[in-house]
């Protein structure tokens, strides 16, 4: 795996397993290889039934008997199977991680959709409209959205797909996505670094700790302190997708002290429905909310307005703050 030959390792294990199906040592080593480098959020994501159902409703509204669908980022093959079940003429699904693509292929076959779903073991940017998709897709469905919206490369992948893989007038699901940001009070002195450790003051080490981290959207210690504002609205499927690299917002505290900004994602699936993982006491989501700690000077009960500035390089968003 370390030398970049993971796919060969996976193939070797598959052959060995056929010869020695009961070898526990072999099975354990194979599991280690198959899990290597695979983000461990897949299981949490598949267990998010609100997310799954929201995608399926949008696919059912969009798919027609003559639709050619492209699912970007197969994972387990879930969205591709939903599109096939909704009645699409054919579904193509691409997956950048070969071992995951192979598993999607097996899952799709086991569920009886092998004849209507083609798994392409490739990153979407390596697909060709004519060679791989029979001329292009009418519907492009994807869930390559990170907690921070951007870090799975959604801007570049969907801009490429709009230019190179979509038929004219193709529908994108989701069709738009953006960040939502709000002031917050995170009721914990420091989320990661205790100031005093074994009797020593280590608080200076704070300068090396990232000022943001993901928290559960239903975290008991997270309290919203303002209305939400939209930042970095993205629109998919247009020939020149809007992807502002700088944006700003002004957040006004409604009540109580503030010490952070919290950011979550908002996905406009189509004209009928949106999904968002807004933090709330009883909320749950596969996506975490990203908490951005304020410097001490911007924390407290007297802070009523914060100006938020953000920029990104297409993948990594960065924020800075000032009193409004
Ligand atoms: C968040 S998972 C979603 C999986 C599945 N579509 C679902 O919703 O359950 C994203 C998957 O897409 C893959 N991926 C991300 N960007 C991709 C791209 N541009 N082309 C192909 N695969 C991609 C990742 O390796 C990962 O397996």
What pLDDT band is residue 10 in, cutting at 50, 70 and 90? confident
pLDDT (tens digit per residue) in 248-296: 999 999 989 999 999 999 999 999 999 999 999 999 999 999 999 999 8
Residue 26 covered by a domain: yes
Q: Are residues 98 and 202 in the same domain?
A: no
Spell out the alpha helix ranges (H) of the chain: 6-19, 24-35, 42-46, 49-62, 78-85, 98-110, 129-133, 154-164
Task: Quote the number of domains for the chain.
Answer: 3
**Domain assignment of residue 170, yes or no:** no
- CATH of residue 134's domain is 3.40.50.150
Pocket flag, ligand 1, residue 251 (CB < 6 Å): no
Residues 247 and 215 in one domain: yes
Q: Give me the sign of the Cα torsion angle 254, 256, 260, 262.
A: negative
Asked if the structure places residue 134 within a domain, the reply is yes
Nearest CA to ligand 1 atom 15: 73
Residue 74 lies in a domain: yes
Is the beta carbon of 124 within 6 A of some atom in ligand 1? Answer: yes
Q: Are residues 126 and 239 in the same domain?
A: no
Centre of ligand 1 to C-alpha 252, Å, is 36
Shared domain check, 97 and 54: yes
CATH of the domain at 222: 2.70.160.11
Q: Encode pLDDT of 205-254 as tens digits.
A: 989 989 999 999 999 999 999 999 999 999 998 765 567 899 999 999 99
Q: Looking at 143, 160, 189, which one is the last position of a domain? A: 143
Pair (300, 190) in one structural domain? yes
* 104 and 63 in a common domain: yes
Give the domain extent around 14: 6-35
Are residues 187 and 316 located together in one domain of the fold? yes
Q: Taking the CA atoms of the chain, what radius of gyration do you get in angstroms? A: 22
Return the best residue to mutate from 52, 53, 75 for the ligand 1 pocket (most ligand atoms within 8 A of CB). Answer: 75
**118 - beta bridge partners?**
92
Establish if 27 belongs to a structural domain. yes
Q: What percent of the chain has pLDDT over 70?
A: 98
- Select from 37, 144, 236, 265 the residue to mutate for testing ligand 1; criterion: most ligand atoms less than 8 Å from CB: 144
Do both 280 and 237 map to the same domain? yes
Q: Is 97 in the pocket of ligand 1 (CB under 6 A)?
A: yes
If you measure from the C-alpha of residue 264 to the centroid of ligand 1, how many angstroms do you get, rounded to a whole number? Answer: 19
Q: Which of 14-18, 179-183, 222-226 has the lowest mean pLDDT?
A: 14-18
Mutual angle of helices 78-85 and 98-110, in 10-degree steps = 30
**Is 171 among the domain residues?**
no
Q: How far apart are CA 30 and CA 291, in angstroms?
A: 37
Q: Is residue 109 part of a domain?
A: yes
Same domain, 206 and 304: yes
The DSSP bridge pattern shows strands 274-276 and 260-268 to be: antiparallel
- Structural domain includes residue 155: no
């Amino acid at each position: 795996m370390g030398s970049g030959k993971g796919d060969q390792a996976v193939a070797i294990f598959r052959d060995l397993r056929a010869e020695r199906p009961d070898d526990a040592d072999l099975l354990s080593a194979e599991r280690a290889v198959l899990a290597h480098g695979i983000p461990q959020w897949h299981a949490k994501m598949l267990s998010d039934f609100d997310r799954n159902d929201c995608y399926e409703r949008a696919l059912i509204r969009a798919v027609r008997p003559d639709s050619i669908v492209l699912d970007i980022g197969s994972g387990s093959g879930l969205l591709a199977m939903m599109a096939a079940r909704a009645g699409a003429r054919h579904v193509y699904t691409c997956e950048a991680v070969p071992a995951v693509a192979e598993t999607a292929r097996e899952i799709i076959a086991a569920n009886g959709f092998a004849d209507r779903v083609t798994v392409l073991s490739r990153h979407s940017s390596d697909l060709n409209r004519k060679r791989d998709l029979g001329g292009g897709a009418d519907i492009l469905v994807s869930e390559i959205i990170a907690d921070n919206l951007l870090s799975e490369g959604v801007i570049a992948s969907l801009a490429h797909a709009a230019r190179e893989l979509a038929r004219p007038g193709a529908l994108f699901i989701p069709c738009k996505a953006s960040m939502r940001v709000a002031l917050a009070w995170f009721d914990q002195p420091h989320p990661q670094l205790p100031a005093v450790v074994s009797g020593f003051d280590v608080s200076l080490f704070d300068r090396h700790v990232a000022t943001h981290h993901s928290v559960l959207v239903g975290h008991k210690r997270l309290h919203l302190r303002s209305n939400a504002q939209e930042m970095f609205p993205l629109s998919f499927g247009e020939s020149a997708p809007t992807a502002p690299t700088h944006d700003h917002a002004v957040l006004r505290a409604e009540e109580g002290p503030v010490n952070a900004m919290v950011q979550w994602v908002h996905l406009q699936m189509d004209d009928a429905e949106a999904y968002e993982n807004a933090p709330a006491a009883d909320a749950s989501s596969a996506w975490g909310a990203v908490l951005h700690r304020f410097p001490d000077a911007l924390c407290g009960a007297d802070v009523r307005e914060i100006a938020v500035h953000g920029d990104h390089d297409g993948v990594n968003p960065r924020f800075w703050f000032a009193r409004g």
